[in-house]
Chain A
Amino acid sequence: MISCKTTGQRLTLIFLSLFTFCSIHISAQDVAAGKTLFVGKCASCHNIFKATTGPALMNLEERHKWADHKELLKWINNPAGYMANDPYTQGLKAQYGGQMMTAFSDITLKNVDDIVAYINDQVASQGKSKDPGTVNNEPKGNSNAVIFGVISLILGIIALILMQVNSNLKKMSDDAEGISRPEPVAFYKNKIYIAMAAILFFVVGGYLVAKGAIGLGRQTNYQPEQPIYYSHKVHAGINQINCQYCHSSVMESKHATIPSVNVCMNCHKAIKTYEKGPKLYTESGEEVNGTAEIAKLYKYAGFDPNNATVWDPTKAKPIEWIKIHNLPDHVYFNHSQHVKAGKVQCQSCHGEITAMDEVKQVSELSMGWCVNCHRQTKVDFNYDSTGNKFYSIYEKFHNDLKTSELNAVKADKTLTSKDRKFKIDSIMRTVRMDSVRVQDIGGLECQKCHY
């Protein structure tokens, strides 16, 4: 089935396609030039759809006299001069915090046409792609435990039924053969059943009691609902904001510091809606409206997104975040010591924080957990230029050991062979720098953390 066309039809088609190609090509060139200009000159202060430092440029031709691009050019080339006898732009200046637009004297009329073409093109394409291709990624519940529980329950019931069936059949066969046995006791009076149940009860109960007792005061998997649904996944994961942007004192202080509202507002003064990221869900599967969560932040900050210039940061109220990681009062822990000197990554203790919407405690923060890490972690001496020089006081010690002391021990005739071997062993152990663990430099001393 090959469709044949007449030569006339083909010719018309070619003409038509050429025509459309040319027309698209011409307008695309304008739009492309406009985009370059817009990004280079305007985008620092203007967004097409949102009011930021300056007004949104969407549909600007419908406002004031801007449909006449010559008027627009006059304004762009010399805003101060244009404003002198124009109440509309004077009003704009007052509305946007008394800030005058920067003059762009090098812009020509052609440039203005291009920029407006680009803006209109963006507005048109925004209208087309309005319906969002929703990807429904519902979070999966942890159903494995339930399935296993149900299966073992069913198996247990089947076993019980089979045992009852077995005893009934036995009774029937006994009746048929005329053997008289004492009346069988009910299964809940059967001593074997009772003994088995008692053993099971003590094993399971003992396990649960021990587990509960160990877990007292530990908060593994603690995942409280925070006053604002703040997703670390969106901020630190998708948008690649460094942990230390917000937790800025982690290298200098005992605390990693919770950011104050002004740090949030550094970005959210401009980012007023959540629209480009994936859909957000709470742990119980309800969908979260990101824009509404940002609005909660504005409430704390005392910020009016429609009237951004009158914001007074000193009126902001702190957000009462709920503390997740809590060490008992009798334990001392210092973030800077671990992050700056020890160069421990945040994720080593806090888990894959960049994949968490709602943060939960991953490590158990028990003493055994601390001590284990101190036993296993090698000390990063890094004497060369890349290191932090924190342990540089050990450098001389190491070099001395390597050369003179080793020789001295070997040459010392007064030592018994056992003593000499012990000394050389201990020296060799310290000399091999990669073998030095945190425990060897005091990481297991009680009073380092309890005092």
Chain B
Amino acid sequence: MKKFGIITGIAALVLLVAACGGPRRSPGRAYMPDMAYSRAYETYASTDKLMAEYGNKVSYTAMPVPGTIARGDMLFSYPYANDSAGYANSASVKNPLDIASIDMVEAERKYLINCGICHGTKLDGNGPLYKDGNGPYPVAPKNLVSDDLKKMAEGTMFHSLTYGKNTMGSYSSQLSTKQRWEVIAYIKMKQGGGAPADTAAAKATTASMVAPAMDTTKKAKQP
């Protein structure tokens, strides 16, 4: 009987080890923790410990000083606040970028990542989140190639993109000021010129912009 006891004991142990599956919920140990984990403050680290240790001797704030301007944003200071008067006035703002200097392939990439998810790859307001009402998004995103959006001034688009409009949120944390204007130039190009392309010269530039962008989409599809 003693032997039997030993055997069942070993069997139970092996079974126990084998049954310890499931997800790994612990990060494990490090060989030299002082080399693995930073003593200095790291991005996204908690400041609680630092504050507890040094109290009010540390002046830490996650926010930039009020009035801080991001590098490269000096050219594009946008004057209007997020209110109805600002929305009305925004129509007078023009795209500060030289349209010909914009890399439309990059602008298209930014559009597809940030806007296409709702407004669709064809700008028809039917992205994967809406899918004719079958997606999770409850309201129809704007059709960006509809007549009223074609008439919309690029400044108004910039206002909506910066502050959000209706259920759309602000995109100023995901796209820099320059990138926002680039995306708007891309949308205007796809709309076929629209309001700002009144003069023949502007039409010529948009036409020349359309051609290379189409070339690249062809190239991208080939492989």
B-binding residues in A (CB < 8 A): 39, 43-47, 49-50, 52-53, 99, 141-142, 145-146, 149-150, 153, 157, 160, 186-188, 215-219, 221-225, 239-242, 244-245, 248, 254-255, 258, 260, 262-263, 265-267, 269-271, 274-277, 283-284, 320, 323, 326, 328-330, 358, 360, 385-386
Residues of B within 8 A of A244 (CB): 113
Stretch of B35-43, B93-101, B150-158 at the chain-chain interface: B35-43
Residues of A within 8 A of B137 (CB): 267, 270-271
B219 close to A269 (CB less than 8 A): no
Say yes or no for B29: interface residue by CB 8 A criterion: yes
Q: How far is the CA of A23 from the CA of B44 in the complex (A)?
A: 63
Looking at the assembled complex, report how far the CB atom of B94 sits from the nearest CB atom of chain A, in whole angstroms: 25
Q: Is the interface of A mostly helix, strand, loop or mixed?
A: loop
A326 close to B27 (CB less than 8 A): yes
Looking at the assembled complex, report how far the CB atom of A167 sits from the nearest CB atom of chain B, in whole angstroms: 13
| A-B CB pair tally, cutoff 8 Å | 155
Contact of A217 among B36, B175, B216 (CB under 8 A): B36
Q: How far is the CA of A206 from the CA of B25 in the complex (A)?
A: 25
Taking CB as reference atom, which chain A residue is nearest B21?
A: A142
A284 close to B22 (CB less than 8 A): yes
Say yes or no for B75: interface residue by CB 8 A criterion: no
Looking at the assembled complex, report how far the CB atom of B173 sits from the nearest CB atom of chain A, in whole angstroms: 6
Residues of A within 8 A of B168 (CB): 266
Instruction: Please tell me the number of chain B residues within 8 Å of chain A, measured between CB atoms.
Output: 55
* 8 interchain pairs, CB-CB under 8 A: A52-B166, A188-B3, A217-B28, A239-B135, A240-B117, A267-B137, A269-B167, A358-B23
Say yes or no for B112: interface residue by CB 8 A criterion: yes
Contact of A150 among B18, B30, B167 (CB under 8 A): B18
Say yes or no for B169: interface residue by CB 8 A criterion: yes
Q: How far is the CA of A394 from the CA of B37 in the complex (A)?
A: 38
B139 close to A52 (CB less than 8 A): yes
**Which of B21, B22, B112, B140 has the largest count of A CB atoms less than 10 A from its CB?**
B140
Residues of A within 8 A of B64 (CB): none
Q: How far is the CA of A141 from the CA of B18 in the complex (A)?
A: 13
Say yes or no for B114: interface residue by CB 8 A criterion: yes
Contact of B139 among A43, A225, A323 (CB under 8 A): A43
Say yes or no for B142: interface residue by CB 8 A criterion: yes
Residues of A within 8 A of B138 (CB): 47, 49-50, 52, 270-271
B18 close to A263 (CB less than 8 A): no
* Binary CB contact string for chain B from 166 to 186 against chain A (1 if under 8 A, 0 otherwise): 111111011100000000000
Residues of B within 8 A of A323 (CB): 44
**Which of B27, B136, B216, B219 has the largest count of A CB atoms less than 10 A from its CB?**
B136
Residues of B within 8 A of A141 (CB): 21
A44-B140, A52-B139, A267-B129 are known; give 15 further A-B pairs, CB within 8 A.
A49-B138, A52-B166, A53-B166, A149-B18, A186-B3, A215-B28, A224-B27, A254-B43, A258-B44, A262-B173, A263-B169, A263-B173, A275-B136, A276-B135, A360-B23
Taking CB as reference atom, which chain B residue is nearest A321?
A: B44
Q: How far is the CA of A132 from the CA of B21 in the complex (A)?
A: 33
B35 close to A328 (CB less than 8 A): yes
Q: With A47-B139, A217-B28 known to touch, is A188 a contact of B216 (CB < 8 Å)?
A: no
Q: How far is the CA of A39 from the CA of B142 in the complex (A)?
A: 10
Residues of B within 8 A of A145 (CB): 18, 21
Say yes or no for B134: interface residue by CB 8 A criterion: yes
Chain B positions 1-28 with a Cβ under 8 Å from a chain A Cβ: 3, 6-7, 11, 14-15, 17-19, 21-28
Taking CB as reference atom, which chain A residue is nearest B212?
A: A385
Q: How far is the CA of A260 from the CA of B171 in the complex (A)?
A: 12
* Binary CB contact string for chain B from 30 to 70 against chain A (1 if under 8 A, 0 otherwise): 11000111110001101000000000000000000000000
